[in-house]
Amino acid sequence: MSYESPTEELLVEFSDNILTITLNRPDRLNAINGPMLSTLSSTLQQANIDPEVRAVILTGAGRGFCSGLDLKQQMGNGESGAVQPGRRGYQMFDLHNSPPIVINRMDKPMICALNGAAAGYGMDMALGCDIRISSDRGKLGAVFAKRGVLPESGGCWYLPRLLGWAKAAEVAFLGDVLDAEKSLELGLVNRVVPHDDLMTETRKMAMQIAKNAPLSVQTTKRMMRLGMEEPFEAAVDHIYLQLLPLFQSEDFKEGLASFAERREPNFQGR
């Protein structure tokens, strides 16, 4: 499959089996409008079925990762941009195949390169990625309670699973902005790196993932996701059924051969 940036507001670059998606509305701190929602979802869905894609990086242009949904542009409510109950725009965002749903379904590993502030919808999308590498300027704006809303696009589901109930409640109820070090302390990001090194370090991790057997990585992710909702014995049974076809794969044979020959494996994804 070929990847070209579908719009100036969503930049796409593909190289070395890594797809990098950049939210590109820096003047609006990469607030997402309606066309971006659709395009982001379709790009991720294409990547998920493309055997050439082995890892996806999601980041933002400029000084912010994503400030949330651009309700002002979408609703056309003048300068206020407020969501008004009773207006048609109140239900304008269809959750079916929306980016948070698509991200949660992804079998391809996703890394969030947190280049700046992520708030609202942007924070939920960041939490939906498998791994988060934060610039030392990165922030997670868990300010829902201070805006009269709630983490509507995955945050209510992810936070208790990432942090445990008590810490999730603290983050959600206080409504604070978490800087990079606090996010690292809580375990909401995997590591913090100097801002200028963010994409280099993120890509380094993505390339290490991409060199591994893609069928193994993707199946592991799928089983981890399903296992969060399964009893242990059911998870073990399902994992065994996934293991059988992996034993028949060319990559399994390559993994054994490279180990025996003491060389780096060359996986083909089949």
CATH C-level class of 214-261: mainly alpha
Query: Could you tell me the fold of the domain covering 10-211?
Result: 2-enoyl-CoA Hydratase; Chain A, domain 1 (3.90.226)
* Residue 7, pLDDT score: 85
90 pLDDT band, cuts 50/70/90, is very low
pTM: 0.89
* Residue 71, pLDDT score: 66
H/E stretch holding 203: helix 198-211
* Residue 17, pLDDT score: 97
The three-state secondary structure class of 148 is: coil
CA dihedral 223, 95, 175, 197 (to 10 degrees): 60
* Residue 73, pLDDT score: 58
List the strands of the sheet with 191-193, edge to edge.
Answer: 10-15, 18-23, 55-60, 110-114, 131-135, 191-193
pLDDT tens for residues 22-75? 999 999 999 999 889 889 999 999 999 999 999 999 999 999 999 988 866 555
Q: Which of the residue ranges 1-5, 146-150, 217-221 would you say has the lowest mean pLDDT? A: 1-5
**In the chain, where are the structural domains located?**
10-211, 214-261
What is the number of other CB atoms lying within 10 angstroms of the CB of residue 180? 21
Q: 72 with 81: CB under 8 angstroms?
A: yes
77 pLDDT band, cuts 50/70/90, is very low
